[in-house]
Amino acid sequence: MRISILAITLLATASAATAQTTLSIPLEIGAADSVLSQTYSCGDAEAFAVQYVNSGANALAIMQIDGKDRIFVNVVSASGAKYVSGADVWWTKGDTATRENEMAEGSLQTCTVQDAPPSE
- 90: domain CATH number is 2.40.128.200
Is residue 119 in a domain? no
Strand partners, 91: 82, 98
Is residue 11 in a domain? no
Cβ 3 vs Cβ 27: under 8 Å? yes
Is residue 25 in a domain? no
Residue-level pLDDT at 15: 38
Residue-level pLDDT at 25: 80
Residue-level pLDDT at 5: 42
Residue-level pLDDT at 10: 30
Is residue 120 in a domain? no
User: In order along the chain (120 residues), what is the average pLDDT of each group of 10 residues?
Assistant: 38 47 83 93 92 94 94 94 97 96 95 73
Domain with 42 in it: 32-113
Supply the DSSP symbol for 115: S
The CA-CA-CA angle for residues 102, 93, 111, to 5°, reads 60
Is residue 60 in a domain? yes
What's the total number of domains in the chain?
A: 1
Is residue 96 in a domain? yes
